[in-house]
Amino acid sequence: MALPETAFDAENIAQGIVKWAEVESPTHYTAGVNRMMDLAAHDMHELGGYVERLPGIDGFGDVVVSRFPSTGQPDQPGILVLGHLDTVHEVGTLAGKLPIRRDGDKLFGPGVLDMKGGNRLAVEAFAVLRNADIRPHLPVTFMFTPDEEVGSPSSRQRIEAEAVKHKYILVPEPLRPWGDVVTGRHAVQRFWVRVHGQPAHAGLSKADGRSAIAKMAEIIGRIEAMNDYDKATTYAVGTVHGGIFVNVVTTLCEAQVLCVAPDDELLVEVQSNMTALAGSEDGVRIEVEAALLRPVAKPHEETMALYEHARRLASGMGRELGHCQSGGGSDGNFTGALGIATLDGLGVGGTNAHTFNEHLLISTLVPQCRLLAGLLETLR
């Protein structure tokens, strides 16, 4: 790799991350997500890329794709840098529980870790190469998506259609806290559980009704009891909604469940356990609907060859680079499952993603940015 560590500036990278984190972009806040797409499109244009903006689907935000030709044949399969610009943090988080702030090595803020930080790393890595007049051997494409945090319902087909044009996929999702990159992803399956009760006046004739909320409380206990951490198989009830008036026995309660399984055999077990909840009992009806699925992405031969290339680069920079198959959904699930060489978890280091303590570590910015630049420069 041609670029020394001194070519990268942690403070400059951090400032770019802050600029992006200052735009609140929870998935369903389309205006905020599209303001992020404005920033991404502007930065890609400034780098000299050919920018395409694909209109959002089903009420989600737009997709931004930026292409940079190679020094060789412009139509050969290249490198796709794939990342999302939506977050789980609602509007008002910046002014409330998670303002942007620095505390020693830690930079706090909504999305600084997952995954605006990683996206900015990739942009900065490419910018440093351009400024040094270093052109990658392969074409490079950046793709920014709007809905990864809810399972990528509007962008999956676009991601897969773009991915098959490329030889390598680089996903700057967060680095694992212990320092590994990600060579595979567990399956992630979402389910809706709906309980239909029987109505009654809660103050006059409660015994005549059957509360959907009460039954859902029982079912939630059953679901949480299914967790098997030794097998890395998890069930998480993430949302619960039910009831209209306090004086009416509730007739409908809905819960959304996120399940994770490390392989296809355990995924089938998860699906069986969840669908077995459906039926009728105690005068209520229980429905279970399988929703969005991120498939298992195993560390296959092409991905491991890409990892070995990254490991050698990292070794030349004086660091050890491990790898793992990881939980936590990613659009890398889709590309890895397609059999395309996919290296995930290339983003910033830090902890507490999806919480009000989300932060990145400034000390990881230069090493990770340098690794990304090295991959962009040397992959063939």
- Do 248 and 364 lie in one domain? The reply is no
Amino acid code (one letter) for 131: N
CATH code, domain with 213: 3.30.70.360
Answer yes or no: is pLDDT of 2 > 70: no
Confidence bin at 74 (pLDDT 50/70/90)? low
Which structural domain range is residue 13 located in? Answer: 5-186+296-378
Residue with tokens 């009891």: 225
DSSP state for residue 149 in the 8-state scheme: G
Same domain, 356 and 345: yes
How does residue 72 score in pLDDT terms, banded at 50, 70 and 90? low
Write down which residue in 251, 269, 294 finishes a domain: 294
Do 268 and 201 lie in a common domain? yes
Among residues 294, 327, 353, the one where a domain terminates is 294
Alpha-carbon dihedral sign for residues 177, 179, 182, 185: negative
**Which tens digit of pLDDT belongs to each residue from 343-377?**
999 999 999 999 999 999 999 999 999 999 999 99
Instruction: Read off the pLDDT of each residue in 87-102 and give the average, rounded to a whole number.
Output: 98
* Residue whose tokens read 């609140």: 24
Shared-domain flag, residues 333 and 209: no
Instruction: Bin 283: left if φ > 0, else alpha if -120 < ψ < 50, else beta.
Output: left
Pair 21, 167 in one domain: yes
246 with 327, same domain: the answer is no
Q: Do 232 and 363 have their domain in common?
A: no
Mean confidence (pLDDT) of the chain: 96
Kindly indicate the confidence band of residue 321, based on its pLDDT and cuts at 50, 70 and 90. very high
For 231-262, the pLDDT digits (tens) are 999 999 999 999 999 999 999 999 999 999 99
- Enter the DSSP assignment of 179: S
Own/partner pairs for 213-219, CB < 8 Å, 24+ apart? 213/242, 213/243, 213/250, 213/253, 215/253, 215/281, 215/282, 215/284, 215/286, 216/240, 216/242, 216/253, 216/255, 219/193, 219/195, 219/255, 219/277, 219/286
Q: Do 217 and 302 reside in the same domain of the chain?
A: no
Q: Report the number of distinct structural domains present in the chain.
A: 2
Q: Which among 262, 294, 326 is the end of a domain?
A: 294
Query: CA nearest 156: which of 331, 347, 356, 346?
Result: 331
Are 181 and 193 part of one and the same domain?
no
Claim to verify: residue 281 and residue 302 sit in the same structural domain: no
130 and 197 in a single domain? The answer is no
Query: Based on the domain organization, do 271 and 288 belong to the same domain?
Result: yes
Give pLDDT, residue 300: 95
Residue 285's pLDDT is what?
98
Q: How far apart are CA 260 and CA 75, in angstroms?
A: 38
CATH code of 370's domain = 3.40.630.10
